[in-house]
């Protein structure tokens, strides 16, 4: 079965600094990978996704992620963080099997210091 | 465009009381539907999914059940709530292709007291 690990539970970053969130997955074939963001008390919004092609994908709100097959990783990055980026971020892996389910990592909470 | 409605937004229920959370989807047909639970400070745990009317798959043993009486309606229920059922419940839908994103409702904050 597939699994996702987000090693960092909390990250604190200064406004204007760069941000990188780590995601490692376990799956036997090329997975479908997603990054979502969740504001407090809200549902999840898709930031970006990868399923084939260029391993560097661009998303909304200035985020990008790089798929590295050799490291089973799909890390999310942003060059310059804004205060509005404070939220919880989830990495997910999808498999085209029964139910077309998404498996999520434990999430990383990002705090932005002024 | 597709939208997903989930209600209520907040719910406080006593231990032992029943539960019914409802989720409806608009703008698509025959969606795959999902119920996730998010405990405080933890990730999303898939509870149930459904690929069609009356078809329910349970991912974890628990005190909850799910039903899909109509194509775009997904209900999460319990006959008797436990304290451990407290959490943030999210409904989502997704298409059949692996590269499609999941769309989430706004969630229900359930507190069992």
Contact state of B107 with A32 under an 8 Å Cβ cutoff: no
Could you read off the pLDDT of B27-82 as tens digits, one per residue?
998 999 999 999 876 789 999 999 999 999 998 878 999 999 999 999 999 999 99
CA proximity to B74, closest of B12, B3, B6: B6
* pLDDT confidence of residue B41: 66
Dmax over CA atoms of chain B, in Å, equals 41
- DSSP annotation of B40 reads T
* pLDDT confidence of residue B98: 80
* pLDDT confidence of residue A44: 92
Question: For chain A, what is the mean pLDDT?
Answer: 92
Which tokens go with A91? 């990495």
Which 3-state string (H, E, C) describes chain A?
Answer: CCEEECCCCEEEEECCCCEEECCEEECCCCCEEEEEEECCCCCEEEEEEECCCCCEEECHHHCEEEEEHHHCEEEEEECCCCHHHCEEEEEEEECCCHHHCEEECCCEEEEEEC
Q: What is the mean pLDDT of residues B10-29?
A: 96
* pLDDT confidence of residue B99: 82
* pLDDT confidence of residue B76: 97
* pLDDT confidence of residue B32: 94
Which residues of chain A lie closer than 8 angstroms to B100, CB-CB? 100
* pLDDT confidence of residue B43: 85
Least CA distance to B32: which residue of chain A?
A99
Of A1-15, A88-102, B17-31, B76-90, which range is least confident? A88-102
Which residues of chain A lie closer than 8 angstroms to B43, CB-CB? 6, 90, 104-107
Q: What is the mean pLDDT of residues A60-89?
A: 96
What is the distance, to the nearest Å, from the Cα of residue B4 to the centroid of all Cα atoms in its chain? 11
Distance between CA B15 and CA B110 in Å, rounded?
A: 12
* pLDDT confidence of residue A49: 95
Which residues of chain A lie closer than 8 angstroms to B105, CB-CB? 43
Using CB atoms within 10 Å of the CB of residue A56, give its burial: 0 to 12 exposed, 13 to 18 middle, 19+ buried.
exposed
- Give the one of A43, A44, A96 whose C-beta lies nearest to B98's C-beta: A96
User: What are the φ and ψ backbone dihedral angles of A69, each rounded to 5 degrees?
Assistant: -60, -40
Least CA distance to A106: which residue of chain B?
B43
Q: At B86, is the pLDDT very low, low, confident or very high (cuts 50, 70, 90)?
A: very high
* pLDDT confidence of residue A41: 83
The answer to whether the peptide bond before residue A110 is cis (omega within 30 degrees of 0) is no
- Give the one of A95, A99, A105 whose C-beta lies nearest to B43's C-beta: A105
Q: What is the mean pLDDT of residues B89-111?
A: 92
Contact between B6 and B88 (Cβ < 8 Å) = no
Q: At B85, is the pLDDT very low, low, confident or very high (cuts 50, 70, 90)?
A: very high
Report the gap between the CA of B65 and the closest CA in chain A (Å). 17
Q: What is the mean pLDDT of residues A65-70?
A: 94
Q: At A99, is the pLDDT very low, low, confident or very high (cuts 50, 70, 90)?
A: confident
């Amino acid at each position: 079965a597939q699994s996702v690990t987000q090693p960092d539970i909390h990250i604190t970053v200064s406004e204007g600094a760069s941000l990188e969130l780590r995601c490692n997955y376990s799956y036997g074939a090329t997975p479908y990978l997603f990054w979502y963001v969740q504001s407090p008390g809200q549902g999840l919004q898709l930031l970006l996704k990868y399923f084939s092609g260029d391993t560097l994908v661009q998303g909304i709100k200035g985020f990008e992620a790089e798929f590295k097959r050799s490291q089973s990783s799909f890390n999310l990055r942003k060059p310059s963080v804004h205060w509005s980026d404070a939220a919880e971020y989830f990495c997910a892996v999808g498999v085209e099997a029964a139910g077309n389910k998404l498996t999520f990592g434990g999430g990383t909470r990002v705090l932005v210091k002024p | 465009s597709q939208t997903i409605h989930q209600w209520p937004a907040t719910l406080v229920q006593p231990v032992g009381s029943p539960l019914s959370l409802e989720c409806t989807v608009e703008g698509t047909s025959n969606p795959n539907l999902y119920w996730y639970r998010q405990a405080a400070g933890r990730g999303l745990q898939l509870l149930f999914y459904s690929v069609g009317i009356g078809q329910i798959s349970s991912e974890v043993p628990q005190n909850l059940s799910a039903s899909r009486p109509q194509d775009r309606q997904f209900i999460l229920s319990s006959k008797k709530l436990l304290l451990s059922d407290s959490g943030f419940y999210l409904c989502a839908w997704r298409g059949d292709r692996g590269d499609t994103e999941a769309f989430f409702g706004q969630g229900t904050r359930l507190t069992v007291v």
